[in-house]
């Protein structure tokens, strides 16, 4: 089912796609071992990103953004999405990877009343495509 992005405009700035174990079991052809099927769960959230640490340190990845916000759809995360779960993400038009870090201050009993909070980290992959530069001025 596609996410109802338009219903949450302009707040829904983050589309997260988690891959979780499904209920069906198949057999791995190479090993013969039972393997759980995979399912995708799409989540729409309103996230605020804090800027990355831009200090230049040799060998240190400085592309990590911290994210905090609330779920829009669904209102509560599926129980198979756990602390540290990773998702393919598009946040503010930027493509990357989101890693969930549970907000330990919010009590689960509040989830039916208000939408679940969501926090984590986001690493941008590739970046936003910039428009082409303007043509050079013509000589008279």
pLDDT digits (tens, 9 = 90+) for 46-55: 999 887 766 6
For the chain, percent of residues with pLDDT exceeding 90 = 21
Q: What is the pLDDT of residue 138?
A: 74
> Strand, coil or helix: what is 124?
strand
Whether 8 contacts 26, CB under 8 Å: no
DSSP annotation of 3: -
8 A C-beta contact, residue 43 and residue 74: yes
> Selecting from 2.40.10, 1.10.3210, 3.40.50, 3.40.1170, what CATH number does the domain 5-25+33-52+61-124 have?
2.40.10
Question: pLDDT category, 28, cuts 50, 70, 90?
Answer: confident
pLDDT band for 39, please (50, 70, 90 cuts): very high
- Highest mean pLDDT pick, 25-34, 96-105, 125-134: 25-34
Between residues 50 and 9, the one the model is more confident about: 50
Q: What is the pLDDT of residue 65?
A: 86
Q: Is the Cβ–Cβ distance between 134 and 75 less than 8 Å?
A: no
Domain edges within the chain: 5-25+33-52+61-124
Question: Higher confidence at residue 59 or residue 21?
Answer: 21
Give 10's DSSP letter.
Answer: T
Reduce the DSSP state of residue 113 to 3 states and report it: coil
Q: Would you say the C-alpha torsion 61, 63, 69, 71 has a positive or negative sign?
A: negative
Greater model confidence, 111 or 30? 30
The answer to whether residue 30 scores a pLDDT higher than 70 is yes
Query: How does residue 17 score in pLDDT terms, banded at 50, 70 and 90?
Result: very high
What is the sign of the dihedral through the CA atoms of 19, 23, 27 and 32?
Answer: positive
Question: What is the residue-averaged pLDDT of the chain?
Answer: 79
């Amino acid at each position: 089912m596609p996410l109802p992005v338009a219903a949450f405009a302009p707040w829904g700035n983050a589309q997260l796609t988690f891959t979780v174990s499904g209920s069906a079991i198949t057999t791995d052809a190479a090993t013969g071992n039972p393997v759980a099927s995979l399912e995708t769960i799409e989540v729409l959230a309103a996230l605020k990103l804090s800027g990355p640490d831009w200090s230049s340190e040799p060998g240190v990845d400085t592309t990590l953004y911290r994210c905090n916000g609330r779920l829009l759809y669904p209102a509560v995360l599926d129980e198979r999405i756990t602390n540290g779960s990773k998702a393919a993400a598009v946040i503010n038009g930027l493509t990357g990877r989101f890693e969930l870090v549970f907000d330990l201050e919010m009590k689960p009993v509040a989830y039916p009343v208000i939408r679940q909070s969501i926090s984590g980290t986001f690493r941008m992959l590739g970046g936003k495509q910039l428009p082409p530069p303007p043509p050079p001025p013509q000589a008279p």
